[in-house]
Structure formats: C-alpha cells, structure tokens
Amino acid sequence: MINESKAKLTATSDIILNVSNLVVSFETEKGRVKAVDGAGFKLKKGATLGIVGESGCGKSVTALAIMGLLPKPSGRIESGTIEFKSEDMVPLMGKQGEMHKIRGRQISMIFQEPMTALNPVQKIGVQMNEVYQLHFPLMKSHDMDNASISMLAQVGIASPDKVIRQYPHELSGGMRQRVMIAMALSSKPDILIADEPTTALDVTVQAQILDMINDLQAKLGMSVIIITHDLGVIAENCDDAVVMYGGRVAERAAVPDLFSNPVHPYTQGLLKSIPGFATTPKSTLPTIKGQVPSLDKMPSGCRFSNRCDHVMEICRSAVPLETEPAKGHFVACHKY
C-alpha cells in the first residue's frame, strides 16, 4: 500500500519549497480570523508531498498563499515565510510582476473544480495557447498548437488534435481534469500543486489521474503537492505527508513513518477511520468525535483539544510547539 521505493529515492534530495510559520487571515463579518495559523512544512526536490485534513483545515488556503492568489483584499499573509529555491516569496507577493513570473512558470496549480477554472466559451486549444503566450511570448502560434497537442497526448488524451477544437462542456469530467493538468504543465513548472484533483471524478478515473501525475512527475522531474482529505491517496502516491488540523500542522513525516507510527491523536483518529486499516471487515469504522469548530470559535491552546481523548490541562491554554520524537517525524502535541 505504501510507496516505499519512491521514499528512498528522495532521501538525499534538496528542499525546493520551505513554508515556515505561515499565518493567513481573512476579514469576515465576525472580524479577522486566522484560517492558517503557523503552518510549516518542507517539499523535497522531485518528491511528492501530501497535505491531508478534514474540510476547512486550511489546505486550499495554504496552497493559494503559496501561489500568491489569496482573495484580495479580505485575505492576507500576516506572517511567516514561503521560500522557493531558498528565496522568500512573501515580500514579492505585493509586486505583481515578480510573483507572476514565479506563479505560472515555476509553480503551477490545478484547482479543486476544473469546470470553474476552464473558460466555457473558448475552445481548449485557444485556452492552452494563452498559457504559452503568457510564459513563452516569442513562441509561434503553429508551435503552440503542436506543443498543446503533444501535452494533451502526454496526459493521456486520445485524439488531442480533435480536443483542441472542442469546448470544455464537450469533454467528460476526467478529460477536463486532464486538460487542466496539461495546461498546468505546459509552462514546465518545478512544482505542481494539485488541490483535490480527483474529488469530482469516479474512483477508476481518480486512480488513472493520480497514476498519470506520478508518471509525469518522474518524467519531468517535478516536485508535487497533492492536497486531499483521503489518507489512501497519500499512502499510495506520496513520499511525505503533512496532517493539518484547524489551520495548523498536527504531524508531518515520511509516509511509511506516519502510517506505521502515527503519534498525534488526530492522525491516529484519521487512520482508524480508513476501512481495513485498523478494523476487521465487520467492525464499524470509528470516527473522531465532535466537529471542527468554526474559525471564530477555535479553542485557545491546542485547536484539537475539544475533540481529543488524551486532552490535558495544558492543552486548553498553550499552543503545542512542534517537536521531533523520531528523526524527520514532527508532531505538535503536548504529549510529546
């Protein structure tokens, strides 16, 4: 189940993206709330990092912050650093030109809902050429068409020369997602962020898309961040994993370590809720009691404290700092 061979491959690689103490806030009717509150993790060059957690834990907001695409003016980075190839991008976020160069060209993102990201009234080929025009302005339009066709073929589209003349609604959900991936890859990025790339698709297509991302990653030498609420996706596709809860990182480790020795009570709860992982076929799946509180009602101290079976007095008042109970295995919990 766990992809150990890939994990070994990346053991000596460098860090391409280093997010540290990231705090992102939004202005809401209830005042300014922190959607991400001190998150940090590292992405290794050529590796796949999975970010997992329940709905609302800050996965997409973290990705948007990395892309410099937080909705303005309500969203902003309060503090923290996002180092891409050792350069902090946060100070560049205000300078449109600089961020623009990094965003599309070196870090690409596939969004949660492909239909909203594609323009419904423009043919696929025209939309793909726009990406080339943006990043490679000297490219001839004939070469753009050929590049689009070749990219569509690489993402497994059978008749790419026909597809470039079609509109998004003429394609299936899986094909649209493949087009989105082709567009994201056409700038030859160093990092691909895939935000729940498969949630809208059926199970077989989901597996095909994830396999394809893995293949392309090996071929193009990219680093990948896969955002998901599904630990199975992490187990099968990622080298390293970050478990988020309430806008913070609860635990992060190499995937084999996280699955064989989860230490945060939240991670343990998530793992127990996977069918077949810690249950016999007939037992009912345990779920984590309670619900994620809304951002304006987050407990002070540990944000998981109101749902945790191991809660202690200190958890209700002090934010747990990250410790490293085993090499490369980090946890933010007062138990450690």
Ligand X SMILES: Nc1ncnc2c1ncn2[C@@H]1O[C@H](COP(=O)(O)OP(=O)(O)OP(=O)(O)O)[C@@H](O)[C@H]1O
Q: What tokens were used for 312?
A: 């202690």
> Which of 17, 292 has the CB closer to ligand X?
292
> Which of 57, 253 has the CB closer to ligand X?
57
Nearest of 231, 249, 243 to residue 302 by alpha carbon: 249
Cβ 143 to ligand X shortest distance, Å: 37
Kind of pairing, strands 329-332 and 322-326?
antiparallel
Interacting partner of 50 out of ligand X, Mg ion, none (Cβ under 5 to 8 A depending on kind): none
Kind of pairing, strands 240-245 and 248-254?
antiparallel
Length in residues, the chain: 336
Cβ 198 to Mg ion shortest distance, Å: 13
Instruction: Estimate to the nearest angstrom the gap between the alpha carbon of 334 and the chain centroid.
Output: 27
Residues that bind ligand X (CB under 6 A): 26, 28, 35, 53, 55-61, 71, 74-75, 229, 295
> Which of 74, 172 has the CB closer to ligand X?
74
Cβ 195 to Mg ion shortest distance, Å: 6
Interacting partner of 228 out of Mg ion, ligand X, none (Cβ under 5 to 8 A depending on kind): none
Cβ 51 to Mg ion shortest distance, Å: 10
Residues that bind Mg ion (CB under 5 A): 59-60
Interacting partner of 189 out of ligand X, Mg ion, none (Cβ under 5 to 8 A depending on kind): none
Q: How far apart are CA 70 and CA 244, in angstroms?
A: 19
Helix, strand, coil tally for the chain in percent (to 5): 40, 25, 40
> Which of 37, 239 has the CB closer to ligand X?
37
Q: How far apart are CA 320 and CA 190, in angstroms?
A: 33
The residue type found at 138 is L
Cβ 24 to ligand X shortest distance, Å: 8
Nearest of 63, 71, 62, 67 to residue 24 by alpha carbon: 62
> Which of 75, 299 has the CB closer to ligand X?
75
Interacting partner of 71 out of ligand X, Mg ion, none (Cβ under 5 to 8 A depending on kind): ligand X
